[in-house]
Each structure stands twice: as C-alpha cells, then as structure tokens.
Structure 1
Amino acid sequence: MDASTTLPMAMIDTATALADWVLVLPIVLCLIGAAAELVLRRTRVMPLIVAVVVTLAVIACEIGLLVRVAAEGPLSMTMGKWLPPFGISLTVDLFSAAFALAAAIVTLIVLIYAEADRTKSGARDDFHAMVLLLLAGVTGAFLTGDLFNLYVWFEVMLIASFGLIVGGNRPLQLDGAVKYGFLNFLATTFFLMALGLLYGLLGTLNMADIMRVAPLAHPGAMAGVAALLLLAFGMKAAAFPVNAWLPASYHTPPAAVSALFAGLLTKVGAYAMLRALVAVLPGSRDLLEPALALIAIATLLIAPLGAIAETSLRRAMGFIVIGGIGAIMAGLAMPSSDGIAGSGLYILHAIFTMSGLYLAAGLVEKGTGASDTLQMGGLYAASAPISILFLVLILAAAGVPPFLGFWPKLLLLQASLAEGVTSSAPSWVGLTLTLSLLVNAVLTLIAGTRLWAHVFWRSAPVAMTVTVPPSRGDRLGVAATSFLVLAVVLAGLWPAPLMEGASAGAADILDPARFVAATGLAEAMP
C-alpha cells in the first residue's frame, strides 16, 4: 500500500510493492490449498502432502512477515484502490504476526500427529480441507485490520471447526457439535449486533479509523458497544460465566482436532478482546475495567476447580484451557506495559502448551483405550516418555519455572503487584488479581498432578490392557508431541527474545500510533 497521501479518502495510484503481498499470501495459500484438498480427497496420499506443503509455505511467509514487522513496525495492505476507511485493510503488528506464525506451526504438528490415527475409511474425508480452512480463518482473524472482516473470519473458523467436530458421525461428536455450535453462533450474533451499532455511531469499521473517531462519540453508547464485544469475544474465548460449552464439546472429536481447537480457537477470541478493547476502544475499556477484573478473577479461580472435580481426561483439560483465558483477561484488566505483555505472551504460550496437552491426552487415551482417569493407571512403567511429556506440559500450564508458562505469569504478577501494592494509590483490582493468579497456579498444579498420578503413577486397573509402548504409527504422534514440548522447554530456558518481543508488542497495543500510521490515516488523527 502507498501511504504517502495525506487524504484518507484518496485512491491508491501506485502498484502494491511485491514484498507487501506477504501479508495476504498466507490466507490465499490456505484457501487455495483447502479447495485443492476437496479435489484430491479421493486419493490416498496427496491430501497430506498438499496440506503439509501449504502449511510449510504459510510458515515461511509468516516468518518473513514477523522479521519484517520486527524491523520496520506495523505493516498494512489495503484491498482494491481505496485507502481506509473505504478500502479493507490487512494490518499486522508484532503480536498478530507472532500469533499467526504460532498457529501455523501448531497446525503442521497436528497434521503430522493426526496421520497416525488416519484409517483407510477416513482417508477419503474432508479432514485436510477443513484444517486448511480453519487455518485460513485463524490467520485472517490475526492479520485483519477491519472489524467486519474479523467477523467474516470468525464465520470461516466456525464453519471449518463445525466440520471437524462432526467428522466421524459418532453420537458423542454430534452432541458436542450442538453445544459448540449453538453458543458460538450466539456469540457471532452478538458480535454482528455490536458491529451494526458501531457502524451506526461512527460510520466505519476499520480499526485504525475507529481509533481516530471513537473519542468523538458518546462515551455511554461506546461503552455499550464495548460490552457487547466483551460478551461476544468472552463466549468465543470461553471466559466465565459463558464457558460451559468448551469442556462439553472439546473432548468429543479426535485428539488432534481437540488440540487444534484448544490451541487456536479460544486464543483468537482472547486476541480479539485484546485488540478491540485495549487498542481500538481504550476509553470504553476503562469504563468496563471492574467487569473485566471480576470476569478474570472468577475464570482464574473456578476453572481449575472444575479440572480438579473432573475424572474425564480431556474434559479436565478443557477447564485448564479456560483457566488460561482468565490469566489473559487479567492483563486486559491492568492495561500497563507488563499487563498487556503478559497477556500477549500467555496467548503465545497457550497456543503451544494447550495443543500439546491434548495431543498427550490423545496418546494416553489410545494407549489405555479409556477416556476416564478412573479406568487408567500404570502408564509410567509402560511408557515413561509419554509420562514425562504430559508432566512437563502440566507444569508449563501451571506456570512452574523454567518452562514457558512461567514468564507470562511473572509479567502479570509484576503488573498486578504494581497496581495493587507498590503504586501510590493501591487498588483492589491489582491486589485481588495478584492473589487470584497465585491461587490459579496452585490449583492448576494440583489438578494437573492429580491427573498425572491417576494416569501414570497408581497401579493399573485389573481389566485394563495397556498398548504402549506405541506402535510405529503412534511413535509419529509421540514425536509430534515432543516437538511442542521441546518448544515450551527451550522458550522457557531462553525467554529473553520473547520477553523483549512481548514488551514491544504491548507498546503498539497501548500506543497504536504506528498501527494507525501503517494504514495511511495518521495525518487524519484529531
């Protein structure tokens, strides 16, 4: 995009630079790949090859995009010839580029993991097409600079995820699909209502343009729109009290699909809250701060209690995922540099860790032939590697050092302590969030180690037949899970680049001047 003009309504009169196409190429590759998969789905090997090649190409594009954003700042590309707010923009900063790259890496790992479970009867389904379509929706949601386009990508994600959750046609999957679909359709309806009100108030849905004109609108009306957005994105992210659909549905599809959902879908909802409430509508976020704090506290405390009470392995994982959403929302309730950096880094950590947890759970369920921990036991002697992978991921989810999950929680604790204890005017929000984050870590550790003890440490039931160590196909799943665990461990041992990147990303969220400038609207700011 040529941003040299000072008139936001001007037409673009120069060709888009070749390097700028890297913003849209990941989405285009996913959509073309999904279409190709539908043509090739009757073949035996080609769907996997196409899916892996497309995902590798997306990863390569997003590595280049992340490097460029880190060096130059936020970038924007506008579709058509009209500059914003009339042209629809893809606008990317450090957070969105990093999240899109992490999503593509997890998708590649899941594709490899899922191959171990693919049967001849399942070789002709639409699994790979749906995965690429889901990645297109996730990538588009991370890279868009327009709220209506964000709604469109949410719908793409919903269609793909619904196709994945019903694949197999088992009654349990259909039951999970109804619960998943109803609540998510309701969330998108609230989102669409908020967009209609926002367009009526401001006449624009471009994020950068909203930042420009929102301060001129009625604060009460804008707070109402922000509350609707909070409700919609809170349902997508599975924040309390609109979180019951997640543990009721994420355990129903195959483990590979559950891993994709846990790593990507709720994180897009959390990212949307971060972008819309902190960067786009900061004034309205300030009015909603007490509500954000209460939601974060309730989510932090209630979710791990649900995990402790559960005996179903993957349902318990769902509550651990929800607890992480509480940590992300804690940063939204404390819009300081450390708070937003902690939320952003937690999203990145959760994409890898929560996906890995579900992949490890799939290995356990496959080895034991059971899904309830009351019917499991003795797997440590049968497969020590799987037990180690599972334990590392549990410790990372709880925020135990030196794993990746420790560092975002450290940033969040620094932010909450600064607001609730060490500031000149201590607030109940900071102090209560500090205690809630600590209690969440302890409860998550209790829930996770309880699961580990039941599955691996105690004696196996007499009737249980353990089929691990794994077969050749299962070793592929172990290798894929090990890659995610290795990433969590290495990032935790060498956190400096991620911490610096999180701080830089938080700076662009709190002061989006560079984000606005990338679209060409900086000169029109009031």
Structure 2
Amino acid sequence: MAGKTDYHVDLAQALVLKAPAAADYLVVAPLVIGFLFGAICLMSRKNTDRQPYIAIAGLVLMLAADLGLFWHVWQNGTVVMTMGRWLPPFGITFAADMLGATFALTAGIVGLAGGVYALRDVGRTGRRYGFYPFLLLMMAGVTAAFLTGDIFNLYVWFEVLLISSFGLLILGSEREQLDGATKYAFLNLIATTLFLLAVAYLYGTFGTLNMADISRKAAKMRETGPLFTIAVLFLFAFGMKAAAFPVNFWLPASYHTPRIVVSALFAGLLTKVGVYALLRVFLMLFPVERDMLAGTIAIIAGATMVLGAMGALAQNDIRRMLGYLVISGIGMMLAGLALGSETGLTGAVFYAVHSMVVMTALYFLAGIVGRRMNGFSLATAGGLYSQAPWLAGIALVLLLSVSGLPPFSGLWAKVYLVKASLDVGAWWLAFSILLTGLLTTIAVGRTFAFSFWRERQADDGEGSEAPAGTSGFVTASLVALTALTVAAGLYPEPLIQVSDRIASELLAPAGYVDTVFPPQGPQQTEVQSQQ
C-alpha cells in the first residue's frame, strides 16, 4: 500500500551544505596548478624549447596562489576545505594555518627560482626526459604536504614528492647519479615504511587520521593507547627524512650527484618537509610526548648541528660541503622543537625560512663557481675574484648569512635559539649553536678564500668561462634569493612577526582544531524530502 510520508533528512550532520568562499579555494589551488601544468609539460615533452616556459608559467601561478593563501590566512586565520563536501573527519581535509601557508609561500619562491635557473642548467636532453614535469610534480607534493590536514595524506604527499625527486635525481643516468639515487631511495624507503607503520598504529588507536580530530582525542587516549611508542616511530621516520643525526648519512652521499639546480631544490625543500612534519605532529598531536622526548631531541639537535658543521669543514668538494651545511641547519630547527618555548619555536621557524632561501642560493652559487673553475674541487680553485668581483660580493653575503653573522638573515634565528636555550638553562645547547656558527664560518671562509682570493695557475684554466655560467637567467635567480636574505637581515621585523604568530599557534593548537571542528557543531540546516 503506497502512501505519502513526510520526513526530514539532516544532511548537515555529514555534508557541507554552504558553498565555501572563493578565497578558500586557494588552499587547493597550488596543488591543482602543479598537476595541471605538469601534465601539459608532459604532453609537450617533444617540444623542448616551449616546455620550460609552460613550466615557469605554472610556477608563477603556484607562487601567486601561495601568496594569496598566505595573505588570506594572515588576515582571516586558518582556512579549511574538506574534499567531496564531507565534514571532517569523514572527508579528506586541507587546512592552511600560518605555518603551512608560510612554508608553502617560501617553497613557491624557491621553486620559481629553480625553474628559472634551469633554463640554462638543464639542456634539451634533460627536458626531454622530464625535468619540468618532475619539478612541477615535486612542487605540488611539497606544497600539499604543508597544507594537508590528514596524517595519511601527509604520507601520500611524501610519496608524491619522493617519486618525483627520484626522477630528478637520476636525470642523466650517470654512474655517480645512480649510486647516489640508490642510497637516497633505500634510506627513504626505510623512513617511509616506519612512517606508514606509525600511521597504522595511529589509526588503530584513534580510529581517525584527521590531525585535528586526533589532537582533540589524544588527552583521553594516553592511559590506554601506546602514544609514546607512536611518537618515537614518528620521530625516527621524520628525523630520517629531515636528515637528522644519526640517520643523516644518506644526504651527503646523494645531494652532490645530480644537476646543481636539482641539488639546490632538494636542499631548500625536501628536508624542510621533514622538519615541518616534526613540528606539526609533535606540537599538535603529541605535545605531552614531546615534553617527554625533549631531552632526546635536544641531544639529536646538538649532534646534528655540530657534526654537520664538522663534516663541512672536512670537505674538499664544494657540493659535499653544502650538503653537510644542510644537515647542520636541520639541527638548528630541531633545537627549537626540543626547547618547545615560544622563543625557541620562533627561532626554528625563522631559521627554516632562512635555510630554504639561503641553501638554494648557495647551490646556485656553487653551480656558477663550478662552471668557471671547470669543477667543484677546492684543490684546483682560485682566481674568481679577478674574473667576477660581483660574484665574490654575492658569495660573501650568502656565506656570512649561512654562518649566522650580521647583518644577514641567519643572525636573527640564532639569536632567538640561543636566548631560548639560556632561558631554560640549556647552556650546552646554546654553546652548541655558537660552536656550530664558528665551525661554519671557518668552513665557508676556507671555501671563499680558496675560490676567490687564491691565485689560480694558468694551466688550470684561469680566465675561462663556461657558456651558461653567468647567463641572465642564472644570475637573476641567484640575485633574487640573495636579495631576500639581505632584506630579512636588515629588516627582520615582518618575518619575526610571522614566526611569532606561528609559534603561538603551534603552542595553542585549539584554534586550528576549532576551525576544523567548530565548537558550535555542524550546520543545522535541514533539507525536507518528500516521497
């Protein structure tokens, strides 16, 4: 017997019924742009002359989206978008707070600089074998990792950026590249396996993978769930990806093997994703476990920074020296995580942004120096000051900045970290930071003296210039990044304000959680359906 029945279906309990604001789409715009332009470059792989400009157009749009997202978050707070209209934790959430937006913006700047530099560093063969599609895929993976609100999707985006980084690493298929790629792939496979195991334990404990949902449930699970074990697994997995001691030996064994522009992008971006993951997981999901592991993290930080600087001092190859400086910088960021104070986290975030820009610029500089010297060995270096005084000036700025000397951006982060260490009585950590600065100054001073001040014998090729060594594209990329470290050193207040806000948000994740799960609950809109 058929009849007419009225009933109400409250879709608001599961679905987003209100259309998001247009500006909220900026959360996913960089990802969409990266994949779209990467696909276009892949379809244009036979047109090696047009492909770079398609890629650069995509990188410009990604940077514009990152800039718009940063401004939107700065003005309005954390921005959340959940895929498929499902409410969290049912749908996959993208959430941009100041930490994610700042790292994404810095990554966009570095990625665009790398794309421009590659116009002369990557030839037609490299383009035909997929440099630009791999670059755009990697940029999409890096940016999405900074913006995802789901721990499993953080794993997914790690895989996306790692797959693309493998392609970039072996571009050229030289014996040295394949050897470096093997070490890189094996160690990252171990880290990825540990990451996946930690995610499985996390889901088995909480029944959810939404980071905001885990954060609000963690306090009730500490009596029954193995949260400390999960936290240790994450520390080991992300520490390996960030190249922290004692699982950092893969980085100096692989970063010197690919093309300079690839090494520069790896140094500027990939290890910072590991640092971002440590900050996000330990300060939002496991703050209590972070307190328990603070001493261990501090020891790891001290060993990473000091041994990294000592490794740089021992190198005779400029590229290998820079690889150890990347490791040393990771120790600085981990020191802020270990301290866990607002001052310490401000220093860690400031240093991360500084390192993204300066390490990329240093590799660009190394590429120009290597072309002019026909190699990267300090044993045969010399005479560059007479060839290019302007290059010596840029080199001095970048080398002073990475050493943490005034008046450049590296100074302020170390000031904050030393102050935070002394505030809690961790004098040995403050000493480690200062010792690292001294060792780094000696290492880079030696490099500068050998490359620029020392005379070079005529039979070593003094006065010869490689065709692409000082092209306009290469110079523009290097000068732009150098200008950023000078600006951040002379006028650090804007970056300090951003870093302060990030530190405050990390220490009070309730604001992030409340944006994903509003306290008033889901919308109460009802939709009437008749049958």
TM-score (norm 1): 0.94
- Aligned partner of 1:443 in structure 2 is 439
In 2, Cα distance between equivalents of 1:336 and 1:472: 47
In 2, Cα distance between equivalents of 1:316 and 1:461: 24
In 1, Cα distance between equivalents of 2:463 and 2:273: 36
Q: Which shifted more, 354-363 or 454-463?
A: 454-463
- For residue 432 of structure 1, report the CA deviation from its aligned partner: 1.4
- CA 1:124/1:467 → structure 2, altered by over 3 Å: closer, same or farther? farther
Give the counterpart of 2:322 among 300, 317, 336: 317
Q: Match for 1:344: what amino acid? A: V
Aligned alpha-carbon RMSD (Å): 1.7
In 1, Cα distance between equivalents of 2:341 and 2:127: 49
- CA 1:229/1:43 → structure 2, altered by over 3 Å: closer, same or farther? same
The aligned runs of 1:250-265 (5 Å cut-off) are: 250-265=255-270
- Aligned partner of 2:106 in structure 1 is 102
In 2, Cα distance between equivalents of 1:307 and 1:396: 16
- Aligned partner of 1:424 in structure 2 is none
- CA 1:300/1:120 → structure 2, altered by over 3 Å: closer, same or farther? closer
Give the counterpart of 1:83 among 75, 87, 91: 87
- For residue 9 of structure 1, report the CA deviation from its aligned partner: 5.7
Q: Could you tell me whether the CA contact under 8 Å between 1:26 and 1:136 is conserved in 2?
A: yes
The aligned runs of 1:29-428 (5 Å cut-off) are: 29-218=33-222, 221-420=226-425
In 2, Cα distance between equivalents of 1:468 and 1:229: 50
Q: Secondary structure of the residue that 2:90 maps to in structure 1? A: coil
Q: Match for 2:260: what amino acid? A: A
Q: Which shifted more, 372-381 or 148-157?
A: 372-381
Give the counterpart of 2:19 among 15, 18, 37: 15
Q: Match for 2:26: what amino acid? A: V
Q: Could you tell me whether the CA contact under 8 Å between 1:377 and 1:460 is conserved in 2?
A: yes
Residues 322-374 of structure 1 deviation map (CA, whole Å, 9 limit, x = unaligned): 00000000000111111111111111001100000111011111111112111
- For residue 474 of structure 1, report the CA deviation from its aligned partner: 2.6
Gaps of 5+ in 2: 1-9, 522-531
Q: Could you tell me whether the CA contact under 8 Å between 2:235 and 2:278 is conserved in 1?
A: yes
In 1, Cα distance between equivalents of 2:270 and 2:520: 36
In 2, Cα distance between equivalents of 1:184 and 1:9: 40
In 2, Cα distance between equivalents of 1:196 and 1:123: 39
Q: Could you tell me whether the CA contact under 8 Å between 1:293 and 1:333 is conserved in 2?
A: yes
- For residue 115 of structure 1, report the CA deviation from its aligned partner: 1.1
Larger radius of gyration: 2
Q: Match for 1:335: what amino acid? A: G
Give the counterpart of 1:465 among 443, 449, 461: 461
- For residue 212 of structure 1, report the CA deviation from its aligned partner: 0.4
Q: Could you tell me whether the CA contact under 8 Å between 1:209 and 1:521 is conserved in 2?
A: no
In 2, Cα distance between equivalents of 1:252 and 1:409: 30
In 2, Cα distance between equivalents of 1:199 and 1:432: 38
- CA 1:243/1:522 → structure 2, altered by over 3 Å: closer, same or farther? farther
Q: Match for 2:148: what amino acid? A: T
Q: Match for 1:432: what amino acid? A: W
Residues 4-32 of structure 1 deviation map (CA, whole Å, 9 limit, x = unaligned): xx999632122222221111011010011
TM-score (norm 2): 0.93
Q: % of aligned pairs identical? A: 44
2:430 is equivalent to residue 434 of structure 1: yes
- For residue 43 of structure 1, report the CA deviation from its aligned partner: 0.4
Runs of 4+ in 1 over 6 A off after TM superposition: none
Aligned residues: 510
In 2, Cα distance between equivalents of 1:235 and 1:483: 31
Q: Could you tell me whether the CA contact under 8 Å between 1:383 and 1:469 is conserved in 2?
A: no
Q: Could you tell me whether the CA contact under 8 Å between 1:94 and 1:505 is conserved in 2?
A: yes
In 2, Cα distance between equivalents of 1:190 and 1:123: 34
- For residue 205 of structure 1, report the CA deviation from its aligned partner: 1.3
In 2, Cα distance between equivalents of 1:14 and 1:255: 48
Q: Match for 2:447: what amino acid? A: L
- For residue 123 of structure 1, report the CA deviation from its aligned partner: 3.9
Q: Could you tell me whether the CA contact under 8 Å between 2:371 and 2:465 is conserved in 1?
A: no
Residues 465-496 of structure 1 deviation map (CA, whole Å, 9 limit, x = unaligned): 14556646632212211111011101111111
In 1, Cα distance between equivalents of 2:312 and 2:120: 28
Q: Secondary structure of the residue that 2:226 maps to in structure 1? A: helix
Q: Secondary structure of the residue that 1:121 maps to in structure 2? A: helix
In 2, Cα distance between equivalents of 1:207 and 1:518: 12
